[in-house]
Amino acid sequence: MSIPPPTSPANAQKNRKGLNRVWHAAGYSIEGLKAGWHETAFRQEALAALVLVPLAFWLGNSWVEVALLAGSVVIVMIVELLNTGIETAIDRIGPEWHDLSKRAKDMGSAAVLLALLLCGGIWVAAIAQRIFHG
């Protein structure tokens, strides 16, 4: 005896098309940003971005430099949200310690560290360029 396939997917978003899908996806994205705001690290990075992104327009000498400076800040925020998503999914599975859960969380944390190092390197190089090569 075979089980008939479900008539509709569990996620209603899968049935949406066109602008209706985009509209709902945007709503989910806003909810994700709100959830991220409750995380201390994301909130700190978002507040830093309020200073650094406008500063990128002053520090950058071309649109490429501005894009690298501002983009590196936004990448840190993106990676932080992804890391929080990983941590949240792992925590949903259960509070007990497991080597694979630790590995997933450590890798998410490492991704944030690499994004921060990339951002810091780009900013240090741009500031050094401004100071030493006027």
> Binding site residues for ATP, as ranges?
21, 28, 39, 87, 96-98, 105-106
How far is Cα 12 from Cα 18, in angstroms, rounded to an integer? 14
Amino acid letter, 93: I
**Residues marked as binding for a divalent metal cation?**
39, 87
Cα dihedral across residues 118, 120, 122, 125: positive or negative:
negative
**Residues marked as binding?**
21, 28, 39, 41-45, 80, 87, 96-98, 105-106, 109
Query: Pick the catalytic residue: 72, 80, 108, 126?
Result: 80
**Residues marked as binding for substrate?**
21, 41-45, 80, 109
Mark whether 31 is an active-site residue. no
Query: DSSP string spanning 1-69?
Result: -PPPPPSS-SSGGGG--HHHHHHHHHHHHHHHHHHHHTSHHHHHHHHHHHHHHHHHHHH-SSHHHHHHH
Catalytic (active-site) positions = 80
